[in-house]
Chains A and B, each alone.
Chain A
Amino acid sequence: MEINVIDQAGMAHTIGAEPGASLMLAIREAGLFIKAECGGCCLCATCHVYVADDWQGRLPAKSEEEDMTLSEACEILDRSRLACQIEMTPALNGLIATIAPHFL
């Protein structure tokens, strides 16, 4: 499956993704920069992404834990998610996600 990721410089990349892995790992495996410093434990909010508007409703809803941790991200929007909490499934083929700005 393939997904579309827009990096922090605004460049779009089509990358491969393995069903079962997280969006964060797919981004990292593709060699794109995503901080994700807690390594996918839903603890640090440094894998913050924006999913494209029309994809919002097609993703599984945020868990309470994800929503809590998201508070440690910056420039949070309605379509903000933590990439480590989004599991790649065939239904997400073609997903469009933008890596959100970082804290300084």
Chain B
Amino acid sequence: MTRQIETDALIIGAGPCGLFQVFELGLVDIRACVIDVLPMAGGQCAELYPEKPIYDIPGFPQVRGQELVNNLLEQIKPFETPFYFNQTVVDLEILGTREAPRFRVTTDDELVVDTKAVIIAAGGGSFQPKRPPIAGIENYEGNSVVYAVRKMETLRDKKLLIVGGGDSALDWALNLQPVAARVTLMHRRDEFRAAPHSVEKMRALAAVGKIDLRFGQVTALAGTAPSLSSVECRGIDKDLFNIECDVMLPFFGLTMKLGPIANWGLNLHENLIPVDTEAFETNVPGIFAIGDINTYAGKLKLILSGFHEAALSAQRVHRIVYPDKRLTFQYTTSSTKIHKKLGVVS
């Protein structure tokens, strides 16, 4: 069902730069909402390196990816920002005029957002499942090759081949084993990255023949597309074998793709969005790009650069949202108005 909302500014991407953009907009009284393809905030910091220390965040000699995200979420709490997760912006319609831009943004979860400004903070693009480069795989995708399980029932009594050695592969092998006619788990080697208790459970099921555990890589698909009948595999010792299956579920992690951003009429340079360095605005007035996704002379892909970009873009967004109001620059240390916004004084 379509949901329609209205906001001053829409931020695409809930990574560190998108989160700090919420803060900078909030300071100048701009209501923002945030859309992200992942199920949680944090972008690459949360998805790729939650436990890795970062050493170049000003004021933090060392901070882990997830810690930084948690701190940013804490920092923007006063603004009670709506987040819309698990969805990708698929369409961006330019309405309004150059002077008074308006946009209508639609996601693949039927969310429609009317907004005065759009800030793209999408990092390397949206996280999508890695698709194995097997010839003809696109003819099976969505039917017998799937990268996510929406309803387990659709896989009942099917012969499943789950590929991968991480948590997703192991969790789904365990969850689907009681439902499926047969579960084969294939990984390239006999070492698993998944949580040890899942690995133990899986091995116990394999030992009693309830899961087939195989080692190797899929090299080809066989069937009458879109129906799969078997896959061809190469084992660790280069031995070739087939596995019969109705559905293959590859779990090789996520990769970043620019996706629909390419279709919004923005200038692009090698999959990056060129911006001016005064407001980090794109060639379309009212659409801004900050963080890893933008490019300009001297650009460095650092989180700290994205923070700076967020502060400056907020100034220009203010002009769009409040064309008649003059923006007086204020320090968070000394401004009582800001203290009220942040809830530190009543």
Interface residues of A (CB under 8 A from B): 35, 37-39, 41, 43-46, 64, 67-68, 71-76, 101-104
Q: How far is the CA of A102 from the CA of B189 in the complex (A)?
A: 20
Chain A residues near B44 (CB-CB < 8 A) = 37-38
Write the chain A residue with the least CB distance to B236.
Answer: A78
Q: How far is the CA of A68 from the CA of B187 in the complex (A)?
A: 11
Contact among A37, A43, A67, A103 with B132 in the assembled complex (CB-CB below 8 Å): A103
Q: How far is the CA of A74 from the CA of B189 in the complex (A)?
A: 13
Contact among B131, B188, B191 with A103 in the assembled complex (CB-CB below 8 Å): B131
Q: How far is the CA of A64 from the CA of B133 in the complex (A)?
A: 25
B274 to chain A, nearest CB (A): 18
Given contacts A67-B189, A68-B191, A71-B165, 16 further A-B contacts (CB under 8 A): A35-B255, A37-B44, A37-B124, A41-B48, A41-B49, A43-B49, A67-B191, A71-B166, A71-B193, A74-B130, A74-B132, A74-B133, A74-B217, A75-B133, A103-B131, A104-B131
Write the chain A residue with the least CB distance to B127.
Answer: A37
Interface residues of B (CB under 8 A from A): 44, 48-49, 52, 124, 130-133, 137, 164-166, 187-189, 191, 193, 217, 252-253, 255-256, 301
Chain B residues near A73 (CB-CB < 8 A) = 252
Write the chain A residue with the least CB distance to B189.
Answer: A71
Is the CB–CB distance between B253 and A72 below 8 Å?
A: yes
B183 to chain A, nearest CB (A): 19
Chain B residues near A104 (CB-CB < 8 A) = 130-133, 137
User: Chain A CB within 10 Å — which of B137, B166, B188, B193 has the most?
Assistant: B188
Contact among A41, A43, A71, A101 with B164 in the assembled complex (CB-CB below 8 Å): A71
Is the CB–CB distance between B255 and A46 below 8 Å?
A: yes
Is the CB–CB distance between A37 and B256 below 8 Å?
A: yes
Main secondary structure of the interface of A (DSSP, over half): loop
Chain B residues near A43 (CB-CB < 8 A) = 48-49, 52
Q: How far is the CA of A75 from the CA of B217 in the complex (A)?
A: 8
Chain B residues near A46 (CB-CB < 8 A) = 255
A and B contact pairs by CB, cutoff 8 A, 14 listed: A37-B44, A38-B44, A41-B49, A46-B255, A64-B191, A67-B189, A68-B191, A71-B193, A74-B217, A75-B133, A103-B131, A103-B255, A104-B130, A104-B137
A76 to chain B, nearest CB (A): 6
Is the CB–CB distance between A103 and B130 below 8 Å?
A: yes
A57 to chain B, nearest CB (A): 19
Is the CB–CB distance between A38 and B49 below 8 Å?
A: yes
A43 to chain B, nearest CB (A): 5
Is the CB–CB distance between B52 and A41 below 8 Å?
A: yes
Chain A residues near B255 (CB-CB < 8 A) = 35, 37, 44, 46, 103
A34 to chain B, nearest CB (A): 13
B146 to chain A, nearest CB (A): 15
Q: How far is the CA of A76 from the CA of B188 in the complex (A)?
A: 8
Q: How far is the CA of A39 from the CA of B44 in the complex (A)?
A: 11
Q: How far is the CA of A55 from the CA of B301 in the complex (A)?
A: 33
Is the CB–CB distance between A103 and B252 below 8 Å?
A: yes
Chain A residues near B164 (CB-CB < 8 A) = 71-72
Q: How far is the CA of A102 from the CA of B255 in the complex (A)?
A: 10
Write the chain A residue with the least CB distance to B65.
Answer: A41
Say whether, besides A37-B256, A67-B191, A104-B132, A72 and B166 are in contact (CB < 8 Å): yes
